[in-house]
A = this chain, B = another copy of it.
Amino acid sequence: MAEKRSYHHGDLRRALLAAAAEAIAESGPAALSLRDLARRAGVSHAAPAHHFGDKAGLLTALAVEGFNRLADALDASRAETGSLLEAGVTYVRFAVENRAHFEVMFQPSLYDRDDPEVDVARQRAGAALSAGVSTLDEPPPAEETRKTELAAWSIVHGFATLWLAGAFPDPLGDNAGDAARPVIRRLFD
């Protein structure tokens, strides 16, 4: 696909999103340049605007894709293991394997956070997250459920963010998911 060098790229939208994810993973969202993406895709500098409007539009699309991928990953994890602990590990692994998406998703100043598509995707991910807590062997009392959700979300999100930021001083190995497991477990003992 996209082999032909015709006037129409054929799959430019996806090509730009992929190139953006790659560029952001390398140099961070701040260094992203639409013109550079256009160059990588072999199109003119104004082509991206046609698909995304402006830079924020492109990052909005990236955020949507990210929230949907996260929801998919969490749903799959729950279907396979039914374990909240493993759902947390999945969250961390998602962040590392989709670094660019993850960084954009949680930096709303970069995109249009009120976009309806983002809202839908974010709620999907939120629901997938909440569903995980109900898989606990000893589910907390109803009034505690909310706090447990927040605690679980916070610990995995914090671990992922700190890992990506390179904030942990000593080396914890090269597998973020495995490194996270014993840490997350402290919350559920």
Contacts and interface: CB of A to CB of B under 8 A. Distances in A.
Interface of A: 27-31, 106-110, 113, 123, 126, 147-148, 150-151, 153-162, 165-169, 182-184, 186-187
A153 to B, nearest CB: 7
Contacts of A28: 107, 109-110
Given A106-B167, A155-B187, 13 more contacts: A28-B107, A28-B109, A108-B165, A113-B166, A147-B182, A148-B186, A150-B159, A150-B183, A151-B183, A154-B159, A154-B162, A158-B158, A158-B159
A147 B109 contact: no
A162 B27 contact: no
What is the total number of copies of this protein in its complex?
2
A169 B27 CA distance: 30
B169 A109 contact: no
Contact of A30 (B30, B161, B184): B30
B168 A150 contact: yes
A140 B102 CA distance: 33
